[in-house]
């Protein structure tokens, strides 16, 4: 993984506002108008963010390496 950390993206077209991400990683996700948004696009690596991405029922959350955009979660 690169020194730049991770990039977090929530696809608003896929998000159904289940709130699981905010439950797993409240420091990293907020619900705005019923949909999830990352608090910051670039973050330091954090296991709760991986848990949130893997638990999203719509796979709306994508975590990638900020240095090379390789996908970290959810696993393909």
Residue 75 confidence (pLDDT)? 87
Residue 3 confidence (pLDDT)? 54
Domains recognised in the chain with CATH numbers: 6-73 (3.30.70.20)
Positions of the chain with pLDDT under 50: 1-2
The pTM (predicted TM-score) of the whole model is 0.91
Q: b/e string for 19-58 if b means 16 or more Cβ within 10 A?
A: ebbbebbeebbeeeeebbbbeeeebeebeebbbbbebbee
The residues that bridge with 64 in the sheet, in sequence order, are 7, 71
């Amino acid at each position: 993984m690169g020194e730049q950390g991770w990039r977090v993206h929530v696809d608003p077209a896929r998000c159904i506002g289940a709130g699981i991400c905010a439950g797993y990683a409240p420091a990293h996700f907020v619900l705005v108008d019923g949909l999830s948004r990352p608090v910051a696009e670039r973050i330091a690596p954090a296991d709760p963010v991986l848990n949130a991405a893997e638990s999203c029922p719509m796979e709306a959350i994508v975590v990638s390496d900020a240095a090379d955009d390789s996908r970290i979660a959810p696993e393909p």
